[in-house]
Structure 1
Amino acid sequence: MTTYTVRLPDGERLDRIAKALFGSERDGATETLLDANPGLAALGPVIPAGTVVVVPDAVTAPADDTQRIWE
């Protein structure tokens, strides 16, 4: 694991941090950051400057619990 420090003066959205670090904000990237950083969601939609975010080595893809009526 590594860390990422929010440096933008006005803060930064977590989905943009995920995209910068993992190349995408989808497929569990944003959720992986939230799981690795308890309390991060409580900071609101914009993560304040100076916040240190723990970055896991890999993205944990969400479980596909979609139910399809034709299966």
Structure 2
Amino acid sequence: MSGVTYITRDGDCLDNICWHHYGRSSTMVEMVLEANHGLAELGAIYPENIAIFLPEVIEKPVQQNIINIWD
């Protein structure tokens, strides 16, 4: 699994880290928690020097429904 490691600063929280790294926090927080076992037990606000792995997001292609006028 590819990605980057983020080192926290005192007062960081996961939704803010995800927002800055991925551009959104929806579904990203859950994905990062899955990739970092034990991270949820640290609470909502992290102390400094916690290594958090931020996995690469592979977007699934959006399926488009094409409607032809002769269908």
Give your verdict on TM over 0.5.
yes
| Runs of 4+ with deviation above 4 angstroms | none
TM-score scaled by structure 1? 0.73
Per-residue Cα deviation, 1:43-70 (whole angstroms, up to 9, x for no partner): 001122110100101168xxxxxxxxxx
The percentage of aligned residue pairs carrying the same residue is 35
Unpaired stretches in structure 2, ≥5 consecutive residues: 60-71
Aligned-residue RMSD, C-alpha: 1.6
Instruction: Indicate the structure (1 or 2) with the bigger Cα radius of gyration.
Output: 2
The alignment of Structure 1 onto Structure 2 pairs a total of residues equal to 57
TM-score scaled by structure 2? 0.73
Matches within 5 A, 1:1-71: 1-7=3-9, 10-26=10-26, 28-58=27-57
